């Protein structure tokens, strides 16, 4: 069976750097930080009091006020991103077979804010008996964003969510890629969203010592690959990509951003939260992606790394890159855009794949910000080009995006320039 080629024809996003693709990309290239004091709740008693929040988002732009109450914030962000991506793609749904267009959209956690509100209200008022909102369950579940997007646009193709912690939306993209190249769909709306800047999430990650506690300097708190890194900065947002079978896209005259050529998956099989110190799962997932794409390490020019700014995770990923790419490692550009956006958990992979796509389009690598001269980890090889602090122009034929999740879930996707 001959596999079909798969391309990207639409992008949409809402992030701590901006409420559309253009603004987010411009601010990423400028090296801006999306971090600031938490406004979603009173965090004054928490060890971490800052995050990368989406700014100036009003759900009434999408829904009637009464209708918006049916959606958790993560689903609102997902729908917002999907709307921009659908419009950007130019798909004319009135002339499309909607049975052949699907939605595979992820969340690592889903409606945690809804869960907090409903369960908290129950315990505060339990003497009155169990009183829950009838939308509690459908607002909370991690698959509901995919369901809502399909219902809004009447898309009856493959429809589900992938849940693999921080690898979730890279798994969603890979699944969409595989279904299209197998001929199961003409196009798929894919990506991920997360909205976990909430007391239980921040408190839970604090209890694990996973978050940075640089409360006095939040904008410089996320500092991947620097010796003083002390944990990730939690973020929120949503990103949607329209993946489409090449012949279908060409027939309708679609603009093609890039081609999806390979996806890899692996497990660390090591620890519930920590990555393997030698990066065994990370090595395997990158090799699997290269094999799937029928590419060699020398074909890759840019890696958007998982790079969360945690002491163990950053080091293990560097070790994995050196092992997989060998001498070519020193010809790569590497960057962690989480230094600017924070970590969007289940939404991270889709956003970082979008950054790879735009880097290929514009032939420029977004930076890893917040590195200071002298802040050097003796175990990290700084002969690697981490694209510190300033975007760099270069030829980018192909880019690889890594995402690694709690539970040892690893996913990588490879995008490349589209050539006829």
Calculate ∠ Cα 17-19-24, nearest 5°.
40
Backbone angles phi and psi of 262, in degrees to 5: -170, 150
What tokens does 238 get?
Answer: 């949503």
Q: Which residues are the active-site residues?
A: 166, 306, 343
Q: Which helix (H) or strand (E) holds 11?
A: strand 6-14
Please tell me what DSSP assigns to residue 392. E
For residue 34, CA distances in Å to 18, 39, 73, 191, 224 come to: 9, 13, 18, 20, 15
Instruction: Give strand pairing partners of 335.
Output: 304
Mark 137-150 as b/e (b = at least 16 C-beta within 10 Å). Answer: ebbbbbbbbbbbbb
In order, the DSSP letters of 163-189 are -BTBTHHHHHHHHHHHHHHTTS-SEEE
Please tell me what DSSP assigns to residue 46. S
Question: How far is residue 359's CA from residue 392's CA, in Å, rounded to a whole number?
Answer: 10
Instruction: Give strand pairing partners of 10.
Output: 242
């Amino acid at each position: 069976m001959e596999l079909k080629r798969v391309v990207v024809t639409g992008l949409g996003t809402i992030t701590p750097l901006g409420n559309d693709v253009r603004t987010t990309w411009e601010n990423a290239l400028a090296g801006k930080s999306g971090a600031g004091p938490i406004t979603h709740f009173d965090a004054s008693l928490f060890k971490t009091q800052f995050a990368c929040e989406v700014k100036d988002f009003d759900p009434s732009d999408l829904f009637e006020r009464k209708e918006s109450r049916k959606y958790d914030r993560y689903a609102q962000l997902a729908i917002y991103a999907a709307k921009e991506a659908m419009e950007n793609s130019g798909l004319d749904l009135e002339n499309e077979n909607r049975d052949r267009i699907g939605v595979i959209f992820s969340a690592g956690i889903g409606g945690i804010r809804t869960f907090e509100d409903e369960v908290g209200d129950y315990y505060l008022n339990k003497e009155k008996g169990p009183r829950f909102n009838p939308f509690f369950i459908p607002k909370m579940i991690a698959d509901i964003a995919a369901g809502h997007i399909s219902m809004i646009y009447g898309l009856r193709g493959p429809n589900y969510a992938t849940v693999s912690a921080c690898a979730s939306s890279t798994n969603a993209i890979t699944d969409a890629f595989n279904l299209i190249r197998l001929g199961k769909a003409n196009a798929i709306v894919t990506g991920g969203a997360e909205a976990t800047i909430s007391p239980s999430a921040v408190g839970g990650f604090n209890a694990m010592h996973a978050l940075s506690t640089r409360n006095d300097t939040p904008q410089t708190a996320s500092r991947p690959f620097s010796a003083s890194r002390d944990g990730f900065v939690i973020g929120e947002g949503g990103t949607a990509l329209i993946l489409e079978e090449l012949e279908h896209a060409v027939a309708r005259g679609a603009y093609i951003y890039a081609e999806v050529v390979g996806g890899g998956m692996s497990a660390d099989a090591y620890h519930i939260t920590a990555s393997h110190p030698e990066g065994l799962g990370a090595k395997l997932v990158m090799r699997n992606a290269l094999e799937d794409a029928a590419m060699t390490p020398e074909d890759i020019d840019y890696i958007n790394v998982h790079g969360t700014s945690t002491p163990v995770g950053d080091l293990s990923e560097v070790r994995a890159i050196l092992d997989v790419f060998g001498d070519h490692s020193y010809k790569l550009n590497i960057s962690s855009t989480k230094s600017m956006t924070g970590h969007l958990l289940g939404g991270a992979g889709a956003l970082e794949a979008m950054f790879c796509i735009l880097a290929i389009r514009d032939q420029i690598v977004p930076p890893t910000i917040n590195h200071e001269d002298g802040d050097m980890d003796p175990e990290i090889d700084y002969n690697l080009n981490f694209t510190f602090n300033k975007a760099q122009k270069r030829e980018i034929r192909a880019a690889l995006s890594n995402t690694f999740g709690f539970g040892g879930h690893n996913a990588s996707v490879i995008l490349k320039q589209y050539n006829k």
